[in-house]
Amino acid sequence: MDLIGKAALVTGGSRGLGAALARRLAARGANVVIVGRHLEPLESVEREINGSGGHAFALAADIGEKSAIHPLAFAAAALVGPIDVLVHNASALGPTPLRLLLDTECEDLSHVLDVNLVGPFRLTKIVAGSMALRGSGTVVHVSSDAAVAAYPTWGAYSVSKAAQDHLARLWAAELGEHGVRSFSVDPGEMNTRLHADAIPDADPAALEDPSRVAERIVAMIEAGDRIPNGARLEAASWKGTS
């Protein structure tokens, strides 16, 4: 997919991988809507992108809130047009320090599922209808190795990411015939606030820079049908498609 002039929406765009993805998409020519719960940090990313010749728009919304999703989707379309690239990057870990399932409140599991699974479903449901009508569009789900491995204390997050991976496959199975692509990608361990919240004593020097990971994920989007629809990819081992 050639990103020049395309409309992209990135959730969790205030910092870390989301901000890096927004910068990279804009650098490749897309008009980007960046979404987060708080406007101020979003606007700083927006200013930075626009200051370097890109086109970015900041919209505050909580992906876990049902009533926020339609306003978000259509305000975004008013600003950049029908969305061509949708990146589900916003994630909730649940309470930290991370805890055993037997110590996890049901409400905390529900909240994590709302942000990591139900919210992305709601947003894709609005955006992908227009993609299917137009016969093109890409939906990216940022996953984790916790979607595959059962690490003790990562329960709520882990379950939500495993379900999100399967949601990515199902969108591909249902929308592939209409030209819509969907994949999930494990970004690997990065030097981000989410990682620090989960593993406070990790050595930042041993972690990947989110901007490097963002370059690879954007290259995956640009690779289009050279990647099987519904694939689960790993940024760390991704070598490109050529």
Partner 1 sequence: MIAASWPRAEPNDERLLHVDPRGGQIVDAHLRDLPRLLSPGDVLVVNDAATLPASLPVEGSGAEVRLVMRLGGDRAWRAVLFGPGDFRTPTENRPLPPLFDVGARLRFADDLEATISAVDTDEPRLVDLRFSSDGAALWSSLYRHGKPIQYAYVHEPLRLFDVQTRFAARPWALEMPSAGRPLSWSVLAELRRRGVAIAAITHAAGISSTGSASLDRRLPMRERYAIDDAAVATIRAATARGGRVVAVGTTVVRALESSALEHDGELAAADGEATLLIGPGFRPRVVDAILSGMHPPGTSHFALLGAFASSPFLASALEHAEREGYLEHEFGDSMLIGAPKDS
Q: Which residues in this chain contact partner 1 in the complex, by CB under 8 A? A: 57-60, 67, 70-72, 74-75, 77-79, 81-82, 126, 129-130, 132-134, 177-178
Could you tell me what percentage of the chain is helix, strand and coil, using 3-state DSSP and rounding each to the nearest 5?
Answer: 50, 15, 30
Min CB(198)–partner 1 separation in Å: 31
- Which positions ≥6 away from 60 have C-beta within 8 Å? 35, 36, 37, 38, 39, 42
Which candidate in 91, 161, 182, 184 is catalytic? Answer: 161
Nearer Cβ to partner 1, position 21 or 35? Answer: 35
CA–CA distance, 191 with 184 (Å, rounded to integer): 20
Angle between helices 155-175 and 106-113 (to 10 degrees): 30
161 tagged catalytic? yes
Nearer Cβ to partner 1, position 73 or 142? Answer: 73
CA–CA distance, 197 with 58 (Å, rounded to integer): 25
Which candidate in 157, 158, 182, 184 is catalytic? Answer: 157
Q: 28 and 6 in contact (C-beta within 8 Å)?
A: no
Min CB(184)–partner 1 separation in Å: 22
Nearer Cβ to partner 1, position 68 or 235? Answer: 68
Which candidate in 143, 158, 182, 184 is catalytic? Answer: 143
Nearer Cβ to partner 1, position 75 or 196? Answer: 75
Min CB(132)–partner 1 separation in Å: 7
CA atoms within 13 Å, Cβ hemisphere of 70: 2
Task: Return the closest-CA partner of residue 16 out of 233, 198, 162, 159.
Answer: 198
Residues marked active site are found at 143, 157, 161
